[in-house]
Each structure stands twice: as C-alpha cells, then as structure tokens.
Amino acid sequence: MTNHWVDLKNANVLLIMGSNAVENHPIASAHMWKAKDTNNATIIHVDPRFTRTSAKADIYAPIRSGTDIAFLGGMIRWAIEEWYNSGKTKYLNQKYIEDCTNGLFKVHASFETCRDTDHLGLFSGAVSGSNPAYTYNTTTWDYQYDTDTGTTPPIKRPFRATSLDDLTCVFQKLAEHYGVTFIGGTPPYADLSKRYDPDSPYSVASVEKICGTPAALFEQICEAYIGGTYADNKAGTMLYAMGWTQHTVGTQNIRCASILQSLLGNIGVAGSGIDALRGWHNVQGATDHGVLMHLLPGYLAAPPASADYSTLGTGPMDASNTYLKMQIPLAMDPDSPTPPQSAYWWGIFAGQYNRARYMVSLLKAWWPTDKSTLLPLDPQVSYSYLPKRAGDSSYLSLFNEMAKPAKPIKGLFVWGSNPMVMGPDQNLERSAMDNLDWLVVCDCFKTETAEFWNRPGGPGPVSIATEVYLLPGAVFMEKKGSASNSGRLIQWRDKAINPPGDAKDETEILADLGTAIQGLYSSSGLSKDLPIKNLNWPYDTTVLGSDLIEGVAKEENGYALVGFTTPTIAGATATYNAGDQIANFFHLDSTGKTACGNWLFCGTWQKPPAGAGGTGNMMKMRDPVDYHPYQIGIYHKWGYSWPINRRIIYNRAAVYQSTSGTKIMGQPLNPSKPVVWWDGTYYSFQDSGTATGSSTTTLIDTSKTWGTNAWVGKKVYISAGTGSGQERSITANDATTLTVSPAWVTVPGVGCSYTISGAKWNWNYNNVAKNPNTNPNDVIDGFGVNSPTVTLPFIMNREGVARLMGIKALADGPFPEHYEPWETPLTTNPLTNGAGPLSDPVVFSYGKIYASAGDPAYPYVCTTYRLTEHWHGGGFTRNCPTQCQLMPEPFIEISEELAAIKGISNGANVLVTSARGSITLKACVTKRFKPFVIDGVTRHQVGMPWHWGWKGVCSGASANVLTPFIGDVSTRIPETKVFLVNIQLAP
C-alpha cells in the first residue's frame, strides 16, 4: 500500500475493486468501518459477483471479469469531460496534476495513442512479430527535451507546457487515448454528444457494452468516487488484490488506477492511495526480501546475464555499461536548472549514489571477506559472485521448463507453498512434477505437493522416480520474527510455543542446509566455487550474536564493518564503531564500510537502548498512542514501517507545491487531516545538549565536536534553565562554541538545556524542535530540509513527478488500453469494434491449451476466488476441522438464470469443463451472479473457490485444473481470474 491499514479511517470514499476485501481480510477490513463511523464514508464494491463485501457496501456494481481497464478508463474519460464542462472547477484536482504529475510535460512529436485510426488499439512504434504478436519500438513514448549542455554530462530536461489545454502535453494525450473529444476540436469544451454512443471508446455506453455494468450505476459511481474525492479536503482510496493482478493485463489495471488517483490528488494524502491488499500476513515481507525471481532484497534489481550487467561499476559516469550505471540513470529535472528539482533518490546524496550505498552494502553483507586471506573483498569481486539471471524464472516459465521431455529441471525446493493446488493448468503442472529427480518440500502438513505422485490418476509411489523429502516446518506461533503487512508495517512476533517433535523454524532449516552445502565445498580450490565458499553464512555471529532470528534481523538492518564517520547530513555527522547497528539508510556506505541485508529494513534494529525494552528492536515497539497532532493514525511508535518509519509514502504531495491564490505553498491540502506541512513558524531539530558555559554572545558545550560553522544560519533555543525561552540566530561556531546574534537578554546559565534548529522552513509540527522525542508527524518523503519550492514531490522518479504517461514503459503501452482476456467469449475487441487486437498483443504465449475466442464449446466466463474460511492451497485450513465444518467442499456459483437454462438445482453435482480439463462440483445456485449483457448479447459468468485438493481433513476438486497457463505481460502472474468453461449436470 502507498498508505496503510489504519489510514483507511481517513477516507471519504473507498473503492473496492479487484478485491473481495471483507471476505479475505475480515479483521483488517474493520478499519473501513471506522471510515464509515467518523466520515460517513461511502464504500463502493465493483465485482463480477455480489459477495460478503458487497453486502456491506453502499454501492455495488457488477462487472464482467477482465474488463477493469474499460471501467477505469471510462472513469478517466468521465472525469476529464466533467472537469472541462464545470469550467475547470470540479472533478479533477488541477493544481495537483500541474504540480505533482507529468501532465504538463510535452510529448514526443511522433507519439500516437491507440485512438489513431491507422493503428486502432495499438500505440506508435508497433512492430508485428509472432510470439508476442507485437512488440514496441518505444522511442516515441517519451518527452520532448531540451539538452542542458552546461552540465557534465549534459542533462536532458523535459519541456513543460504552460497549460493542460496544450495539445502536445501528456494530459491531452491521456484525454485523447481515453476518447475525450472537444467541441471545435480543441479544449476547453468537452463534446458530450458521444457519451451514450457504445462505439465511442471509454464512453459511459462503452462501459455498459464491454463490462456489462448498467450505465446509470456506472455514472452513480463516477459521481460518488470522482465527485467525492477530487477536492483538496476529500480523499479516496482504492483497495485491490488478485482481482486486478491475476490477468494478462494485470499490471496495466494497476497503472489505470494510479492514473485516476493522480488526476484526483489521491496519492500522498491521508485516506488516499493505491492500496494493495496482500494475500497473507507476510507476503509483503517475502517480496521485501527479494523472493521474486527478478529481485534482490529491497526491490533492487537482480542482474541479468548480459554484457551491460557483467560488472558492478560505480555509477552513471562509468565509461561503459555496468550494473550501477544501468540502475542509476540521470535525473531529468524539467524546465531549467533552477528549482524545483527532482530529488531523484537513487542518485547523488551526501557525496555517494544512494543506489550504490544499498547495493554495495548488500554485497558486503553476503560476501564481506575472502575467507582464505581474511581480507575484505572488493565489492566488485563480491558482485562477480552474484549469480546472474539467464532467462525468466517466473512461476509459469519454471513449470514450463519442468514439463519439457528433456527434463532440464532436476530438483525443486518448495517452501510453505502448495503449487499442486494453486498453480494454473494443473494437469500440466502435476505431470511436470513427475519429471523431477528430487523434490524437497518444507511444510507443516503433507500437502498435495508433498504427495504429488499420489494424486488421483497419478503414477503412484511405485512407478514415480522422484525422490521426495518432507521437512517438517513450524507454524506461525512456533517461531519468532518479523512480519510485514500490506501497509509496509513490520511487526515483530514472539514465539508462543515450541514446534512439535522434529519440526523446526524454516530459518533454522535453511541455515543448517546452507552450512552443510558450504561444508561440501570447503576443500575446493576452484574459482567457480568461491561464491559458495566465501558466502557469509548464515551471517556474522561474532558481531551480531548467536540468536539466529535476531542475527538475521540485525544483518537486514545493517551494521558497520569498520569504525567510520558519515558525511555531514543536515548539519550533523554520525560516528559508528565496527559492529554498531546502522541507524538509517542515509548512513549506508558505497565504499565497503557497511553491510546491510535489506536497505528498506535499515532502521528496524537500532543500537540499544533504542527500541522496545531497550533491545534495539524497533519492530517490537507497541506504544498504542497516535501522537500525530491531528490523529490521522500514524502510531509511529507501534512497529516500524519502511522506509525509515514513514507511514504514508509520497507524502510531500500532501501539501501545495506552489502558491496559487488562496492555496499557499507548504500548507496541507486537507487542513483537518494533514500528514505533514511546511510552515514558517516551525523548526527542524538539529541537535541539543546542556550548556557548560556562555557569554553575552555565545553558548558553549564542551562535550560537542561540531563542524566549524556547520550551524551558521540555524537557530539556538534555550529550553530549560536560566535564560530559557530565548531564541537566537547562529552567526558562527567552532567545535564547542556557538556565536549568536543578537546578544542574549539573559545570559544562559551553566547547565541550561538548549536546542539547535534548522532553517526557518520545516516539515514538523510546532514544538518538535523543543521536544525532540515526540516527532509526531509522519516522516517527510525525502529531504526534510527542502521546501516544496526546492524539491519536487515524487522523489523516486527521475523527473520528480508522478507519471500519468509511462516513459518507454510498460511493454504493452504507456497508457492502459482495454484488451479482452486470453480466453474470451467475444471474437472481436468491443472497444475498437474489431479494428484492433482482441487480447493484449504483447502477451507471451506458452503454447499450451487455450480455448479459442468465442469458442462455442466453452461459452461461459469463469473466475476463481477465495473464501474467508480457507486460505490459499488449503494446506493449513483444510487440516483444521472447524474450517472444514464451515466450508467442507468446493462449489460452483451459478446464477439462477443459468441454472434454470441448464436444469441445475441447488446442491446438484455439476460437471465443469475447460479446454484443459474437467472437475465435478456441487452447485450453489445464487442471486449473487446475474447474467451480463455484453454488446447486446447475454453472457453468463460462473465462479468457484480454488482452495481444494485431494488431501487434508476436507478434500475436493481443484479449480486450477481448469485455469489457463498464461500470464501478465510484465509480471507473468497467471490469468486465473478469467477463462472459459462449459457446465452441465454431472452424469
């Protein structure tokens, strides 16, 4: 989430789409009820099926599975039209668009949207191929640039137009792409004459045509969400999950939501956000620590095996391509060299590149030392030990390889996962497992995966050649450690009970396994074995202690390898001894002085006596007080939120970036729910202490070692003792003495307390400088000493603003476009009336079994989903008798209308067939599915939970026997949310 769970209470409208939040997050969704209680918030649920979430929503709208971009694109068009036709007073947050997004940036002269009649449904640069059907030359998906030759190297600066009406700017390209037209051909009067024309792309009528959502209901949602959240003092959040991601267009679904939220000023403020609801309590932690195949911990890129990435390098100035040069492209400050400028967080900060700090510190955590000489390893050498990715190891590609007759995958580890229930096209995946020489499963139960050979119709134990090992793991109460939730909040858990018998915490199993493997290589003299021999495994116990979990946590946080002093940051330095925990990722070092397993976790384990009970462990803090002065739910002393305990990311956008009329630079968009604000009367804390001496124009503290004149321009305030209440400007200082002006009225006494504060402009609330321990605001997003007029708000982007238009990305387009799912009942794309591609043209096909478009053998749209009562592959919950009582077996939910047509009564056995296989399920005939009318034709949709397999206290048919082996263009997440089936009464 860009925001966090507690923040939901601040929303005025919550749009739950691509999610069944109340069923799948029954406890966390209680935060939504606080929004209803305190704001009379409106909850909107858009879903193919009326669920337990819909039952609690204020507005429910049905949508055909796989048409979310048609819906969200329709909202974008509606918002832009209504903004123009309100005289630019309502329905968009114009100032936010101009100041915080790339809306004004001029676009490459040859860029063409999907509305260009030469290539409807495709962008400029389309190159036809075979698989994928198209790729793109992305040269035109870019800004117009000026080149600043006054810098070394020359920096390209995007041009800003002066008005959103400028036809060359991003905003106008966005409007054009989503079908907005103008009376007279140019702004500012939107032409509404085609709003109810179903052939007009992204019109209200096209949403009804493609999604099956009644037009009046769609407009009600537009008014409620767009009308209800565009204003500065209103906020809307979008809660989503697999219903948006598990599609061939999944990533573009999220992009579409992000664009809409950016148009409404719903990023960075309280109650807003793109709020992904993660699927279990620590999947956020799993992705944070780099479990995905293309990542290293902290979302650093795992390098591919290409020439560009063959060496680490040092940064963007490298003569040829290196990892750090590729990963640190230059900032692109728009307009001119003068501020506001892009903070571009990956780049230069206090003399080093941040990206280099994080990557080098990671390498120093994993390969700090040459074990044969005991000398420190050069990070360039450590980088050479890092395996480079050859090809794509996404879940689908992995099983695709595994299935090959040549059996290229010999062995597989499966940790706490049940692919034999949760992966798509189970007939393919289950027989792929038969090809393995060996399999190691670590789990708490004998799952379907652990006994894949014993599946119904499987080879059985005698003929299966795979050697299978089952390692008993520990259940969540039987181990301690951190868990990161959807809101990036990391909470430490204690162990409640020991695992039974030989079962162990998986971290222990991994540690033992790694140690044993390393031992097997100990006598090798081969250089290719050095990555294993020199691996710091499991971590440095002499420095970090012998407690495995705490030691790993401390390594994740990062520690000093040698004694060093940081560069001066905000007027201060920090000094570390070897072995000290690093306080925050500002202090990580790219020259080899620090080790850090995960830069995002830097700050989670401080040097004692900080942290819970003086342990240093910040993740264990449990202070249940909301110290934020406006009670927006920051709770900064409960757990630790990455990065650096920030709760709402992009929060620089929560204040005005510039002054226009009554909107004052630095003031919050919502004065009753501000997150942070920049105000002339408040000060940033720099340092404090107790005076040892003074004179009429000085203050002395002999315990300090300040840099000469480091405090010039700052303020010193006497907070207690003789002379308290006085504040003076500092005109000079040496190591121990401040010179102030004007002179003291009352000379401060020896032993008085003082505070040194930063520039007059500051992000923190009144009294922070005078009371440094409370710091009750949210942590400002980057460069707290810089006002909005100096630093642009979206600090992670090269151009410092949010992107309404993608730059040379994503692979299938800089704007999301509606494409049908891979298996669709339609034969032509209704958005382009058949002129453009039916499905996403950049999808990579694995060449497996798919139904053809509009295949009459499989006329019904099918989706899969989860229930409150079971979790995921059911390894856990289907071994729990109470859960089996509540939901004993899987079922197919069928509308009353379709059931009547097929002669299926409630509870009857139904044979469900897709192109890949068939299963038998009990019928749940329900009012909660209704037939859709899509482009004038009645189309039926059905759905089923997918938790079941053949093992456990309650077993049953696996829905994933039916689902297609095809994935999202960018992530390869399987499209298990929409495919085609047929149903009939089981014989």
Partner 1 sequence: MLGKRMVIDTSKCTACRGCMVACKQWHSLPAVDTEFTGSYTNPPDLTGADLTVIQFTEAEVAGKLRFLFFNNRCRHCEQPTCKAACPLKAIKRQLNGIVRINPDKCDPSLCSTEDVKPCQEACPFKMDGGSLSPIGIPKREYVKDGSPVSTVMRKCDFCYNRFTSLELKSTPFVSTDGKTKSALPACQVTCPPGAIMSGAADTMKRKAKKRVEYLKANGYPNANVYPAGLLTHVLWVLTEAPSVYGIVPA
- What residues line the site for partner 1 (CB under 8 A)? 22-23, 26-27, 29-30, 33, 50-52, 54-56, 58, 60, 624, 868-869, 881-882, 884-891, 906-907, 922-928
Q: How far is the CB of 68 from partner 1 (least distance, A)?
A: 22
Q: How far is the CB of 570 from partner 1 (least distance, A)?
A: 36
Residue with Cβ nearer partner 1 (848 or 922): 922
Which one, of 651, 641, 640, 645, lies nearest residue 673 by Cα?
A: 651
Q: How far is the CB of 622 from partner 1 (least distance, A)?
A: 11
Residue with Cβ nearer partner 1 (22 or 966): 22
Q: How far is the CB of 892 from partner 1 (least distance, A)?
A: 10
CA distances from 108 to 250, 329, 485, 809 (A): 27, 20, 40, 14
Residue with Cβ nearer partner 1 (858 or 929): 929
Which residues are within 8 A (CB) of 286 and not within 5 positions of it... i.e. 6 or more apart? none
Which one, of 260, 247, 423, 259, lies nearest residue 820 by Cα?
A: 247
Residue with Cβ nearer partner 1 (923 or 942): 923
Continuous H helices in 476-535: 506-520, 530-533
* Number of neighbours of residue 172 by Cβ within 10 angstroms: 25
How many angstroms separate the first and last alpha carbons of the chain? 47
Q: How far is the CB of 487 from partner 1 (least distance, A)?
A: 16
- Dihedral in degrees, nearest 10, Cα atoms 924, 53, 228, 167: -60
Residue with Cβ nearer partner 1 (647 or 798): 647
Residue with Cβ nearer partner 1 (27 or 127): 27
Q: How far is the CB of 530 from partner 1 (least distance, A)?
A: 52
CA distances from 268 to 2, 423, 636, 668, 783 (A): 8, 35, 17, 11, 16
Q: How far is the CB of 230 from partner 1 (least distance, A)?
A: 23
The two tokens of residue 43 are 């909850």
d(CA 523, CA 912): 58
Residue with Cβ nearer partner 1 (56 or 848): 56
Residue with Cβ nearer partner 1 (52 or 294): 52
Q: Phi/psi of residue 439, each to 5°? A: -140, 130
d(CA 220, CA 601): 43
Which one, of 61, 76, 88, lies nearest residue 264 by Cα?
A: 76
Q: How far is the CB of 944 from partner 1 (least distance, A)?
A: 12
d(CA 329, CA 342): 13
Q: Phi/psi of residue 533, each to 5°? A: -60, -45
* Number of neighbours of residue 789 by Cβ within 10 angstroms: 15
Region of 579 please: left (phi>0), alpha (psi -120 to 50) or beta.
left
* Single-letter code of the amino acid located at 559: Y
| Residue 105, SS3 per DSSP | strand
Q: How far is the CB of 488 from partner 1 (least distance, A)?
A: 20
Contact indicator for 799, 339 with CB cutoff of 8 Å: no
Residue with tokens 């390893």: 377
Residue with Cβ nearer partner 1 (859 or 888): 888
Residue with tokens 């096909």: 845
Secondary structure letter of residue 15 according to DSSP: E
Q: Report CA Rg, the chain.
A: 29
3 state SS for 327-384: HCCCCCCCCCCCCCECCCCCCEECCEEHHHHHHHHHHHHHCCEECCCCEECCHHHHHH
Q: How far is the CB of 782 from partner 1 (least distance, A)?
A: 32
Residue with Cβ nearer partner 1 (336 or 906): 906
Q: Helix (H) and strand (E) counts for the chain?
A: 23, 40
Q: How far is the CB of 963 from partner 1 (least distance, A)?
A: 21
Handedness of CA 633, 638, 641, 643 (dihedral sign): positive
Q: How far is the CB of 58 from partner 1 (least distance, A)?
A: 7
CA distances from 186 to 78, 100, 172, 183 (A): 17, 24, 10, 7
Q: How far is the CB of 347 from partner 1 (least distance, A)?
A: 43
Q: How far is the CB of 3 from partner 1 (least distance, A)?
A: 19
The two tokens of residue 682 are 């408040």
Strand order through the sheet with 467-472: 411-415, 438-443, 467-472
Q: What is the Cβ-side half-sphere exposure of residue 308, based on CA atoms within 13 angstroms?
A: 10
d(CA 749, CA 746): 9
Q: Phi/psi of residue 917, each to 5°? A: 170, 180
d(CA 784, CA 232): 22
Consecutive H or E run containing 156: strand 155-158
Residue with Cβ nearer partner 1 (133 or 908): 908
Residue with Cβ nearer partner 1 (39 or 581): 39
Q: How far is the CB of 979 from partner 1 (least distance, A)?
A: 23
Residue with Cβ nearer partner 1 (719 or 926): 926
Residue with Cβ nearer partner 1 (238 or 957): 957
The two tokens of residue 893 are 């939910």
| Residue 411, SS3 per DSSP | strand
Q: How far is the CB of 91 from partner 1 (least distance, A)?
A: 24
The verdict on whether omega for the bond into residue 643 sits within 30 degrees of 0, i.e. cis, is yes
Residue 132, exposed/middle/buried by CB under 10 A (0-12, 13-18, 19+)? middle
Residue with Cβ nearer partner 1 (772 or 888): 888
Which residues are within 8 A (CB) of 415 and not within 5 positions of it... i.e. 6 or more apart? 442, 443, 473, 506
Residue with Cβ nearer partner 1 (388 or 922): 922
Residue with Cβ nearer partner 1 (702 or 885): 885
Residue with Cβ nearer partner 1 (287 or 868): 868
Q: How far is the CB of 21 from partner 1 (least distance, A)?
A: 10
Q: How far is the CB of 53 from partner 1 (least distance, A)?
A: 8
